[in-house]
Amino acid sequence: MSRTLHAFKSYKVKIDMGENYEIHYEDDEDYDIALGNWHYIHSALQYAEYLIGMEIDIPMYDWLDDAYEVHENEMILTDSGLFIRGLEAMINNINQLHKNENPLIDGHDWYLYNTDEKQYGTFDKQKEEIIWYAEKLLKWSKQGLHFVEERN
């Protein structure tokens, strides 16, 4: 299963010719940056969540399978202000870490960086990737965009 990050201003649920409900994102770009890189995005968000003590999450929807439920109950939208606050704290904090420092994230029982260098690279490489994705999410949050993780 692949997953795509959508950043969008608004959405509508439409009915196609076959009477299937579909989620359509407005003012959306299909941000394929996330394909295969959710590890870094989730690491950035979980570290931000840990730092500010508030849940920061990107909801997951399937544009077709979840469309009727969204039509009936609306979509859970991300809070741009919360993302900005968390991502700014995360970027500031991660830039202050010493070389090869891998903090334990209290309450989550995991470390910021994955120790499998073969799959994820060195701590410095992971740090670069996490910062890159966090800066993208921060930029889009400042534009007032909402996020959704779409299953494909």
Domain residue ranges in the chain:
3-151
Say if residue 4 is exposed, middle or buried (CB neighbours under 10 Å; 0-12, 13-18, 19+): middle
Other residues' Cβ atoms within 10 Å of the Cβ of residue 134 = 24
Report the distance separating Cα 52 and Cα 28, nearest Å.
28
Model confidence over 12-33: pLDDT tens digits?
999 988 789 999 888 776 665 6
Question: Considering the entire predicted model, what is its pTM?
Answer: 0.87
Model confidence over 33-47: pLDDT tens digits?
666 678 889 899 999
- What CA dihedral angle connects 34, 35, 38 and 40, to 10 degrees? -60
Instruction: Count the residues in the chain.
Output: 152
Q: Band the pLDDT of 1: cuts 50, 70, 90.
A: low
Q: Which residues contact 109 (CB under 8 A, 6 or more apart)?
A: none
Model confidence over 107-152: pLDDT tens digits?
667 788 888 889 888 899 999 999 999 999 999 999 999 999 887 6
CB half-sphere exposure, 6, CA atoms < 13 A: 21
Picking from 60, 90, 52, 65, the residue whose alpha carbon sits closest to that of residue 76 is 60
Residues 148/6, Cβ–Cβ less than 8 Å:
yes
